[in-house]
Amino acid sequence: ASQAQFISCPISLSPAGQPFCMHDRASYQCRVDSADTLEWRVYNATEYLLGSSMYGPGASVGTIKSFGIDFTTNLTSTGSPIISDIAFRVKPYMINYTLECRALRSINNDTLATDTCPFVIG
């Protein structure tokens, strides 16, 4: 079965275990198994889709993509699993954002699995 899974979902804590402060750099990583495409999505507090980034067949390790003015994604593994990370600087307007990682089938963009990680500023 296909799976999309955050490798870490600290919610409101930085890697050092402290609450995120404004302008801290936040980074999350996701892995997708038994699918050929990984997609990142970011939603605001009202569940409005702010943007997305997709890595499918033929993408190369090290490929960096950006969306919006804040979010950068990086492809770190194209094998099975596909692994990618998303990074951004914490801004005051990011209260209650949700990060979503999706496993897709590229032929018809079928969503096979989804994992979410709420981002809460402490």
> For residues 34 and 120, what is the distance between their CA atoms, to the nearest angstrom?
30
Whether 61 maps to a domain, the answer reads: yes
Q: Which CATH number is 77's domain given?
A: 2.60.40.10
The pLDDT profile of the chain, 122 residues, written as one tens digit per residue, is: 688 899 877 655 555 666 677 778 888 999 999 999 999 999 999 999 999 999 999 999 999 999 988 999 999 999 889 999 999 998 888 888 899 999 999 888 889 999 998 876 76
Cβ distance 81 to 66 under 8 Å? Answer: no
In a domain, 82, yes or no: yes
Residue 122 within a domain: no
Per the structure, the count of domains in the chain is: 1
Residue-number span of the structural domain to which 66 is assigned = 3-10+18-104+112-117
Q: What is the C-alpha separation between 73 and 52, in angstroms, rounded?
A: 9
**In this structure, is residue 59 part of a structural domain?**
yes
Q: Taking the CA atoms of the chain, what radius of gyration do you get in angstroms?
A: 14
Name the one residue in this structure whose structure tokens are 């993509």.
65
